[in-house]
Every structure is written in C-alpha cells, then in structure tokens.
Chains A and B, each alone.
Chain A
C-alpha cells in the first residue's frame, strides 16, 4: 500500500511541475487569471496528531507511548478573491494525505470484544493495548479566507475526506481478561501471549471535519502554512461497537506552498 501512495505522490508532483512550467511560459494567461481574482497554490507538508477519544475515557489509565508516523501531504489550492479589496475569498483544494500513529496505553476494566467464526468473545481487559492506525486519504477543504495583511491570511471551513486505504490493528498484552464481565473467569496474558485484533474494515471511508489556520507569505511566491484539522465524526463506522468510545482525528498540519 505504501508504494501506491508514493506512486500517487510522484505522479502528482510531475503534474504540478508541468503546470508550473506551463504557467511560467504563459505569463499572459497568468495575469488574466490574477485579474479575475484567482490564486493557485501547490503545497506540501506534514502533520502531527492522531485519532483520540475526547475526552479520554476513565478506563484509559496511562498513555505509555505515542508515536506519529511521518505523515505526507501534497495538494492544490484554488482561491477566488471577492470584491475589489480582495479581503475575503473562498478556497477549494484537493490534497493527498497519509495519516498514521502508533500508541501504547495501559487500561483498566476496558470493554472489549473479539469476533471470530461468527462468535463473539466479550469481556473486560486490564493491561496494555497497542494500536496502529494508518490511513491514506483524499481531502477536499472548502474554506473562507481572510487577508489580514499583505503577508498573512487566515482561513476557516469544513473539509471532506475520502479514505482509500485504511489500517487499524494492534494487540493486547501483559494483562488479563475477565470473560463477560468483571465477575467472569480470569485469563492472564503475559510474556509473549498477545491477542491481536484488526479493525481496518470497520473504519469509515468518508470523514468530515473543520479546518482552520494561517498562511504566511515568506516571499512573493512562497508561503508557510499551519492549520489544525479537527474530525467531527468517529473514525469507525457507527455500526462498530467493539471500541466503545468514539475516536476523532485531530491533526496539526505544517507545510509550504508555492503561489503562481
């Protein structure tokens, strides 16, 4: 799956490079576009964050480790400035993003289910839970843009995301399961005994959320972008009950853009 995203990134980069080359040669067209109030930006960046329950349920006793993947983002942004002052605008974009994280947490009396062979093992887990989440998405941000001064722009608005590849798996270890409820039979998992799970198929393909941030023009064409994306729906399908709380994707994105 990794190779797919790199291939997409490579193709997108080539396309953008050719657009840049073409647009550089056609300054006349560029001027016309600018007069009409359009602004084109290609950007790349990375993000930091994860999918987290809000607030953390009391069953989560400790976050032992959290390591975000080095996420990649590559996108196009078109802004249409409004009015003569060009203070306000609307921006629509298309971005390819990878998102991933690894977490290790200690939980107490945490409701869990394992499904197999058409049957269900449910119970309460006390111990370690390791989770790996990785998603590749096409994100469409639709934002209102406000120009604060010559260099600084602020933007805010919703985004839509379509995940074309989803992984969510991990295992529980170093703890014990009470079968059914806290009074059920106790099964200790220690040493290398692990109960693994894979909920990749239970992840939603469509997500939406809010996105807001700033864009600072360091040079005439080069901007530095920083924004926060906040997912508004659970990353899991609503029919999925095993993880008994919702996980929301929250990311801080930082990147560079080139404005034509």
Chain B
C-alpha cells in the first residue's frame, strides 16, 4: 500500500463522513403562489403573479357579480387561506394568506380581477408612493395613476426594486427612476442612468438606466435575463392617434459599452440618447407581452403600430412633442379584437436607449411630464 492509496482511502472516508453528517431536509420556508387558474374559459390574459399581488384579466363577457373560485398552486407543503377553490366575489380585490410548510412564514396576496380595464390616457406623474427595500435601508418611488372615479387605476413599472440590490441607493432620488419638482405643472418623472457599484459590475451589469413603463417588472429575471424582466403592455381598448408630451434631456458625459466580460468601456464620439414611445401589439396565447428582446423589433409580427419621436435631442428646456401613431406596414387594427381586449399598449421610456444592454452614459437624465395618448373617439 503506497502513499497514494492511503490518501485515496482517507479521502473517500472523509467524504463519506461528511456526507453522512447531512441532516434531514428542513421543511420549506417559502410561501409563494406559483400559479393560479380560474375554472372555465374566462381569462383574457395569463395571470400576472407578483410577489404580493395577482392580477386576473377576464374576458368582457364574464360577470363580476358572479363569484369566482380561483385555484392556486403553492410552494410544496404551503397552505392558503381562504382555501384554493373557494368561491368569492371579486368586485373588490380579495386577500389571501399563504403559510409556509414549516409554519414560520406568512405572505399576504391581494388578488384583483380586471375586466375591460380602461387605463388613463393622460399622465402627469403627480402621484407616487415610497416603497421600502432592503429591510427599510432604502426606499424608492412608485408612480401610479388615479382614474376618473378617483380610484387608483394603474401602477407604472420600473426596475427600481432590482436597483436596490446594487446597494448604491438610499433615498428615492438616488434610484434610477423618481419624482421631482419642476414639472410643466407640478411634479414630473425623472429617469437617470446610474452606476450599480462594485457588485453590479461583478454581475456584468455596471449601469442601470432609469426606466418607466406600462406593464410589469419581473424582478426574478432581473439578474440573469434582464431583457426578459420588463413585461411591456396592458390591455387597451382604444385606437391611438397620437402621442404627445414634454421632455428634457441631458446626456451623461461619457458613453460606455459593456463588453461580454462585463467591462464598461468608453466609446469616443458617441452621445447617449433616451427612449420615449408607445407601442400597440396583438397578444396571443404564445405572446402575452413584449419584453426587452422584441419590443420595437421591426420583424415582430405582433406589433400593430407605434408612436416614436424621430428628432429627440438634448435640451435644458422643456421640449413639447406630438407624434402620430403609425401603423406598421401591412398592419391594421381589427375593431372586434380591440373590443375583445386582444391588444396591449405600452408607454416606454428610458434615460439610455441601449440601457437594456448596459450601454449608456452614467448621469444621463430624462425628465418627462404631461404625456397624453390621443385616441379615436368611439361611436
């Protein structure tokens, strides 16, 4: 028996000893709603499942006066109250509490059913609430809109929640997307491209462009598949004609690109530019939303049309713009599909147009106010 054999034996024995020390698997501590179904063919979109909120968009012919009985799939071993399949009235949002398998953790979900939900067409960015993150160490602004009835009608999406992870932010105005004074009339929305610090750089995501859009932000994809984290769009029942509003833009000093190794390298002579547009597209069971991989892709057959600003430029003063909504070649709006809620609209803005590929200039700042989607009046 030579030394090599002795070592092999000791190694095998020690690995065996370590393996045999593995304890029984602890019970699950998570309490997620993983999926939800509504019996019958009543959904018009896939359910939107957030960490604490679920939105169910139903077909126009579904009566909300009748109770609905959503059925949930949970983290294995978790329980839900009221139980899955309980018929409830969804004229108002309902609250469910999920308890983890180990009984230690609880999470409350608000489940909201939307039908024929008409979003606002004018946006003043006057309403924000502050969302705490990292156990209260920082907080960011979340923009929302008030509908004609005085009720909250829509929440704007942004990547602020994921930026908290970079540990670079504290107050709302240190996040990429926030509210500020100095709007056309009251407050305005401000989007700034920011550094994500050393730990963002290690993840090969050295910057975060300010972004604000109609849709939902899927934070779970933010780290590994950021282009897929931005789910653009919400059901829309009007035919857009034009898109107007005001902007100010100041590009950051040095435009840089992120190479495949995560290095953030200056590109001499290049100046940053913002994005601000609306896009209308048709949803199918396969394509429920557009994301960063395909949102203005000229080859995307789902896109019906868009309104984009052709001559956007830097300015210290407010620039008023009004651009027509243009149907893409060969596309029309089908009135039946429009009525059935098959179309989605998204308003999308970013302080760096290539920010989704982590290219842009730190400090680039876009201010936006008084956006308006003008639509054809319905007969």
Contact = CB atoms under 8 A, between A and B. Distances in A.
A257 B225 CA distance: 57
Contacts of B168: 117
B168 to A, nearest CB: 6
B167 A63 contact: no
Interface stretch (B6-14, B332-340, B351-359): B6-14
A48 B51 contact: no
Contacts of A121: 134, 165, 167
- The 10 lowest CB-CB distance pairs between A and B, nearest first, are A182-B29, A119-B167, A58-B23, A193-B224, A183-B107, A116-B167, A190-B224, A56-B21, A186-B220, A58-B26
B202 A194 contact: yes
B222 A187 contact: yes
Nearest to A118: B167
A95 B222 CA distance: 50
Contacts of B221: 188
A61 B25 contact: yes
B11 to A, nearest CB: 7
A196 B198 CA distance: 10
B26 A108 contact: yes
A144 B31 CA distance: 56
A66 B134 contact: no
A48 B18 CA distance: 14
A120 interface: yes
B271 to A, nearest CB: 29
A233 interface: no
Given A58-B26, A119-B137, A183-B30, 15 more contacts: A55-B21, A114-B199, A116-B199, A117-B197, A119-B167, A176-B220, A180-B134, A182-B31, A185-B51, A186-B220, A191-B224, A193-B223, A195-B203, A252-B10, A254-B6
Interface of A: 48-49, 52, 55-63, 66, 68, 108-109, 114, 116-117, 119-122, 124, 176, 178-196, 252, 254
Contacts of B137: 119-120
B106 A183 contact: yes
B22 A60 contact: yes
Interface in B324-369: none
Contacts of A60: 22
Nearest to B26: A58
Interface residues of B, number: 51
B2 interface: no
Interface string B218-232: 011111110000000
A124 B29 contact: yes
B26 A183 contact: no
Given A48-B7, A195-B202, A187 B223 contact: yes
A120 B25 contact: no
18 contacts: A48-B11, A56-B21, A56-B22, A57-B23, A61-B25, A63-B18, A63-B22, A108-B25, A117-B167, A119-B134, A122-B134, A182-B104, A183-B107, A185-B219, A187-B165, A187-B222, A193-B203, A194-B202
A180 B106 contact: no
Contacts of A120: 134, 137, 167
B25 A178 contact: no
The winner among A57, A108, A187 for most chain B CB atoms within 10 A is A187
Contacts of B309: none
A181 B223 contact: no
Nearest to B262: A192
Contact of A59 (B6, B26, B32, B220): B26
Nearest to A184: B51
Given A55-B23, A117-B167, A195 B199 contact: yes
Contacts of B26: 58-59, 108-109
B74 to A, nearest CB: 13
Nearest to B106: A183
A67 to B, nearest CB: 9
Nearest to B219: A185
B23 A109 contact: no
Contacts of B164: 179
B107 to A, nearest CB: 4
B321 interface: no
B358 to A, nearest CB: 13
Nearest to A171: B202
A57 B165 CA distance: 27
Nearest to B10: A48
